[in-house]
Amino acid sequence: MSTEKIKVFIVDDHPVVIAGLASIINADPRFEVTGSAETINSSVEQIRDKNIHLVIIDISLKKNESGLDLVKTLKNESNPPLMLVMSRYEENIYAERALKAGARGYLMKDEAGEKIISAIETILAGKLYLKEELASQILNKIFVMGVDEAEDTVSLLTSRELQVYEMIGRGLSTREIAEKLLLSVSTIETHSQNIKEKLGLKNARELTKNAVQWVLSSQNN
């Protein structure tokens, strides 16, 4: 008697990533990747129609979209799927935001190939999946301190602004940030201006100083 496979859906703006993950997941007889998408709009209806059990979502998508917005949308469905967020960002705050949005796990993209099955198994078992060294810090912040306190001064930033803020703190120029995020220089400048206004910073010098301090603080936590 055959057992119904767990249906998995992948949302990522890189076809190579989708193909790689699908190959690994489909090799396990318990799971089946039944669809994929590159944007929020193109994924929601498919996920509803296919009765998906688990969705793997990249935190950064095409058209300047945040995967966390998709997490929030799906969480409000009448029968929401389980969700695992993938990211190349290791800072705790990204994982905190993913869990707050409704995800059940956070996986680094460079570890996805070897750990994706373990992450899926953990989430299906009703547990949270987090990188071991981040788990105790993040869970303490979210469930003891509270998310708002945990995010501190950067809580006002959108996910995209937070990405820009982090890259500034790592020493990248406006043009380098634009190239990495596949956005225009003017868009990055707008994000930078919004960050300054939200954090009460007077100029680019203060922005850079604060961003560097935040990155260093995140690494030490």
pLDDT digits (tens, 9 = 90+) for 109-132: 888 888 999 999 999 999 999 887
pLDDT tens-digit series, residues 163-179? 899 899 989 999 999 99
Q: Which residues contact 4 (CB under 8 A, 6 or more apart)?
A: none
Given 149, 178, 209, the domain boundary residue is: 149
Q: Which domain covers residue 211, as residue numbers? A: 157-220
Whether 102 has a pLDDT exceeding 70, the answer reads yes
**Exposure b/e, 92-115, CB count within 10 A at least 16 = b:** bbbbbbbbbbbbbbbbbbeebeee
Higher-pLDDT residue of 199 and 92 is: 199
Note whether 26 and 127 are same-domain residues.
Answer: yes
Q: Into how many domains does the chain fold?
A: 2
| Structural domain contains residue 201 | yes
Which DSSP letter does residue 80 get?
P
Whether 26 has a pLDDT exceeding 70, the answer reads yes
| Structural domain contains residue 1 | no
Note whether 32 and 108 are same-domain residues.
Answer: yes
Average pLDDT in the chain: 87
The whole-number pLDDT of residue 70 equals 94
Q: What is the CATH number of the domain that holds 205?
A: 1.10.10.10
Q: What is the CATH number of the domain that holds 23?
A: 3.40.50.2300
Highest mean pLDDT among 7-16, 58-67, 153-162: 7-16
Gyration radius of the chain over CA positions = 18
Note whether 98 and 193 are same-domain residues.
Answer: no
| Structural domain contains residue 194 | yes
Given 94, 127, 149, the domain boundary residue is: 149
C-alpha pair distances (Å), 76 with each of 56, 79, 82 = 17, 8, 12
Note whether 27 and 55 are same-domain residues.
Answer: yes
Note whether 117 and 168 are same-domain residues.
Answer: no
Note whether 143 and 186 are same-domain residues.
Answer: no
pLDDT tens-digit series, residues 198-218? 889 999 999 999 888 888 776
pLDDT tens-digit series, residues 29-80? 999 999 999 999 999 999 998 989 999 999 988 777 889 999 999 999 988 9
| CA 4 – CA 119 distance, rounded (Å) | 20
Neighbours of 188 (CB within 10 A): 24
Note whether 187 and 123 are same-domain residues.
Answer: no
Given 97, 126, 149, the domain boundary residue is: 149
